[in-house]
A and B are shown apart, each in its own frame.
Chain A
């Protein structure tokens, strides 16, 4: 079972929620899909790390075979190819590795080469499998790394927590694509509610069952909570705005291992999520 944890902006507590759920679950898997700046490993400090490169396919043009018909250039939706000085020029950072240019070339003048864009690291912390994706600095898209992370994990029947990148763009879609349930983490501010709306629209579009965790909860009005009530969205947990929690977390310690109150909060949250997923499975079968 795969539980994805996402939010419309960074810093709402995706990593806090997914790291602690994975810890409280015992014998689980944690996948850090925030490949631009993964930070779950700071808490787990995984051992026995196995590293695998991730590469994408980039077209290579054989100028002798090329008949300058420009079919490949007209085909490329991303404009990764240009024709200048009587030659096809490839813009590697723009290329989305779809392979279309190679298929469309009438003289088979296009082959592909591998270009490394990052790596996945698979390690262990106690009985938790820790997967971390790392996009190389300067590379344009994390999607290939996320694909590889989720592929590596495909035969895993452990309870899996996916720590998504912030926002609601392609890399987030890639991360939640095969999730059984989505946990949306939201902050108590107008900006927080706006960002919650973005991911709410995304999970609705993907027809994923989901619930909201309100983080940094303080007394008084919570615009994210108001948004949930107005849209009939289930709130599955609340985490207080608490200096003690902040201190433990900023020392890279896992709060459920340090503090009984939080161990309780996350146990209850996990139970709620598992019940929700079970319920979804029943009504959808």
Chain B
């Protein structure tokens, strides 16, 4: 199984990035090999629609699961259409989130927000 997580740094001990669409990197972690690779998120510098493009990257890298603190409605459309399951990350490191997911301790992300479009938000 392949797990995608938005990342600030290329370090699995680091916390999950609070933004999905504009995260600098994505961790793609393979649970079979217990190995992770960090991809640059080319959507981060988009003028608009970053979430859609970021979701495209996650889909193209054949993730089965996305662990993220939040996700916009349009990104969710792409993610859901590809059948990727979305879980809400906890405020712990990326690798600990993966462990928590493997122990079934993460809840499904149910609230998808409308875009921030430069207006901040939580």
Residues of A near any B CB (own CB < 8 A)? 73, 76-80, 82-85, 89, 91, 93-94
Nearest chain A CB to B52 CB, angstrom units:
5
A84 in contact with B81 given A91-B74, A94-B74 (CB within 8 Å): yes
Nearest chain B CB to A243 CB, angstrom units:
35
Contact call A80/B47, Cβ cutoff below 8 A: no
The CA-CA distance from A85 to B83 in the complex, in Å, is 9
Nearest chain B CB to A137 CB, angstrom units:
14
Closest to A80 in B: B49
Kindly list 19 other residue pairs between chains A and B, CB separation below 8 angstroms, not including A79-B53, A82-B59.
A73-B56, A77-B46, A78-B48, A79-B43, A79-B48, A79-B49, A79-B50, A80-B52, A83-B56, A84-B56, A84-B78, A84-B82, A85-B82, A89-B77, A91-B49, A91-B74, A91-B77, A94-B48, A94-B74
Closest to A95 in B: B49
Nearest chain A CB to B70 CB, angstrom units:
18
Contact with A along B35-47 (1 / 0, CB 8 A): 0000000010011
A89 in contact with B49 given A73-B56, A82-B56, A84-B59 (CB within 8 Å): no
The CA-CA distance from A93 to B82 in the complex, in Å, is 20
Contact call B81/A85, Cβ cutoff below 8 A: yes
Closest to A96 in B: B48
Q: Can you list 15 residue pairs at the A/B interface with Cβ under 8 Å?
A: A73-B56, A76-B49, A78-B49, A79-B50, A82-B55, A82-B56, A82-B59, A84-B56, A84-B59, A84-B82, A89-B77, A89-B78, A91-B52, A93-B74, A94-B49
The CA-CA distance from A93 to B51 in the complex, in Å, is 13
Contact among A77, A84, A85, A89 with B47 in the assembled complex (CB-CB below 8 Å)? A77
- The binding surface of chain B is classed by DSSP as helix
The CA-CA distance from A93 to B48 in the complex, in Å, is 11
Contact call A79/B81, Cβ cutoff below 8 A: no
Closest to B53 in A: A79
Interface size, chain B (Cβ < 8 Å): 17
Contact among A77, A85, A94 with B52 in the assembled complex (CB-CB below 8 Å)? A94
Contact call B78/A82, Cβ cutoff below 8 A: yes
Contact call B56/A78, Cβ cutoff below 8 A: no
The CA-CA distance from A236 to B56 in the complex, in Å, is 53
Closest to B75 in A: A82
With a cutoff of 8 Å between Cβ atoms, the chain B residues found around residue A79 in the complex are 43, 46, 48-50, 52-53, 56
The CA-CA distance from A77 to B47 in the complex, in Å, is 7
Closest to A77 in B: B47
The CA-CA distance from A73 to B78 in the complex, in Å, is 13
With a cutoff of 8 Å between Cβ atoms, the chain B residues found around residue A85 in the complex are 81-82
Closest to B78 in A: A82
The CA-CA distance from A76 to B52 in the complex, in Å, is 12
Closest to B74 in A: A91
Nearest chain B CB to A140 CB, angstrom units:
9
